[in-house]
Structure 1
Amino acid sequence: MSNPIPRISVVIPSYKVTRHILGVIAGIGPEVSRIYVVDDKCPDRSGQFVREQCSDPRVVIIEHAENQGVGGAVMTGYQAAIAEGVDIIVKVDGDGQMDASLIPDFVAPIVNGEADYTKGNRFFDLEQINQMPAIRLFGNAVLSLLTKLSSGYWDLFDPTNGYTAIHVNAARHLPLHRISKRYFFETDMLFRLNTINAAVVDVPMDASYGDEVSNLKISKIVTEFMAKHLRNFGKRIFYNYYLRNMSLASIELPLGLAMLLGGGGYGIVHWLQSAHAGTATAPGTVMLSALPVLMGMQLILAFLAHDIASVPRRPIHRMTRARAKAPARATLPE
């Protein structure tokens, strides 16, 4: 028996995109059965604009009474799609940067059982990334490294790419009310997906920059995101290596950090004492400092190797039924 055709929906967060949103909707192909336009308290009243100007029967307008940010708008769309019983939810921006004809490419890995969540990667084609402004190129490289550490998805890149698709069974298991509502939500989504062991893959796409105005300033958010990445890294390590599972890596990380910091601190103290006295540091003291530092680095590298090898590969949407989340998941710390 052949598998039934999945019901695909698209969520479009709408804020100051009235110049482009009708074209975005028009470009969405017949494979999509529902389109949710979420007016995030747009000053241009984009929801009303689409209601008056668009006759596509697939379109559903959702309006926020207060601005919640792009993440909040997407989560509202997710909740509407889950309630309606769709199979796959695609998120497309309303500013015209994302080619709607790529929707089948984002859906295919999910339908084929290769992923629970897919996201765009504008860095796949090296010839195309020349179109990307230098500050975005640098900022995305920094954010990608931070995201690998905090999310645990070491094989992904371009973390701020908002072109995504998710299977509804994976979305049901996410704490949608906890996911960041502002610009950090794409990377926060990856952290949350890792905590439920969802399989995530990148989908190659070209960078596109037209006359749209982006509210995201990479130069301003790198430092702001740093603290949030550190927070998520700590929470992920606690969840995956202590709360839900214990392994050799659970010992390697704290032991490696203790040896690295202890040996380094011991060496620095004795080096300062020797410098103050004007004498050379004793070889034995150097060895007592260097040995734990080297062993600590080896243990930390072993932990990272284990973490990289532990990237979720098996889609969970095939192992879960369409049901509400188990209450136990809601008890996880914020």
Structure 2
Amino acid sequence: MKKLIIIPAYNESESIEYTIEHIKKEAPDFDYVIINDCSSDNTVEILEKNHYNYISLPVNLGIGGAVQTGYKYALENGYDMAVQVDGDGQHDVSFLNLMVDKLVKEDADMVIGSRFINKEGFQSTFMRRVGITYFTRLIKLLTNQTITDPTSGFRLANRRAIELFAKEYPRDYPEPESVVVLLKKNFKIVEAPVIMKAREGGQSSIRMWSSVYYMVKVSMAILVEFIRK
């Protein structure tokens, strides 16, 4: 089976080399593609210097547009599975075989790597945990399914989910909304316990000052998606 790692990267010069070398060491049976989302630092110079496999977007599309570009690449190149891995070094790809096994054995459409099942490793910041708990409860209310880590970007999709996401994918802060998209369409989502690490470098796109805006905007997007025909 062809397996692809999608790595959205915006100003990840401090961590992208670590991320790719970790993938080469721990997940050699996966191909990878870096989606350079019009970085303003020297990320693209690092990609060129190391001859990494990457696509550079002509304009900044945000996390949703960058990830969807990866899904389009996966669809057009015949991949059976695609997993999103952040370029900041937080996601430990040594857990990918566990996620693949779970996807296959449980006949799931997506496996989300959750840091909150075994509660080991980096558990995120306090404000992020508040938001995660809120979205877990909102998704439970709307879909009657508990997703313990709905903001996790560490997620493995099968071919069916790849085909859907290549056509439609949320633009801003897409992780919780895309969960609702799948559940509404009766796709099967399961979670697997993983350990995440603190960022190797760079800054999160969600700052303290924008946390309330993030929660309100994503909540509205989830509700609109839920009531949409």
TM-score range, shorter chain: 0.7 to 0.9
- Percent pairwise identity: 27
RMSD over aligned CA atoms reads 2.0
2:121 & 2:22 partners in 1: Cα distance?
22
Change (3 A) 1:103 1:175: closer
1:30 is matched with 28
**Secondary structure of the corresponding residue to residue 191 of structure 2:** strand
Q: Matches of 2:130 and 2:177 in 1, distance apart? A: 20
Residue of structure 1 in register with 2:159 after alignment: 168
Report the AA paired with residue 12 of structure 2: V
Amino acid at match of 1:39: N
- What amino acid is the match of 2:195? D
- The one-letter code sitting in structure 1 at the alignment partner of 2:37 is D
Task: Assess, with a 3 A threshold, how the Cα gap between structure 1 residues 45 and 114 changes in structure 2: closer, same or farther.
Answer: same
Using the alignment, how far apart are the partners of 2:45 and 2:120 within structure 1? Answer: 40
Q: For the Cα contact (< 8 Å) 2:84–2:155, is it kept in 1?
A: yes
Bigger fraction of residues in helix: 1
Conserved? CA contact 1:68–1:182, under 8 Å: no
Does the 8 A contact of 2:121 with 2:197 survive in 1? no
1:7/1:87 contact within 8 Å kept: yes
Q: Counterparts of 1:1-334 in structure 2 under 5 Å? A: 6-28=1-23, 29-32=27-30, 34-54=31-51, 59-126=52-119, 128=121, 131-150=123-142, 152=143, 154-172=145-163, 174=164, 176-183=166-173, 185-210=174-199, 212=201, 213-217=203-207, 218-235=211-228, 239=229
Deviations 1:40-80 (A, max 9, x none): 111124234212124xxxx4211111111111111101111
- 1:111 deviation in Å? 2.7
Report how many aligned residue pairs link the two structures. 222
Letter in 2 for 1:101: S
C-alpha change, 1:120 and 1:224, in structure 2 (3 Å) is same
Q: Give secondary structure in 2 for the equivalent of 1:10.
A: strand
Deviations 1:158-201 (A, max 9, x none): 111000110123321x1544321221x11221122124321110
How far apart are the structure 2 equivalents of 1:26 and 1:112?
A: 29
TM-score scaled by structure 2? 0.88
Deviations 1:282-330 (A, max 9, x none): xxxxxxxxxxxxxxxxxxxxxxxxxxxxxxxxxxxxxxxxxxxxxxxxx
What letter corresponds to residue 18 of structure 1 in structure 2?
S
Structure 2 unaligned segments of length 5 or more: list them: none
Q: For residue 194 of structure 2, what is the amino acid of its counterpart?
A: M
Match of 1:332 in 2: none
Larger Rg: 1
TM-score, scaled relative to structure 1: 0.62
Do the aligned residues in 1 keep the contact of 2:64 with 2:171 (CA within 8 Å)?
yes
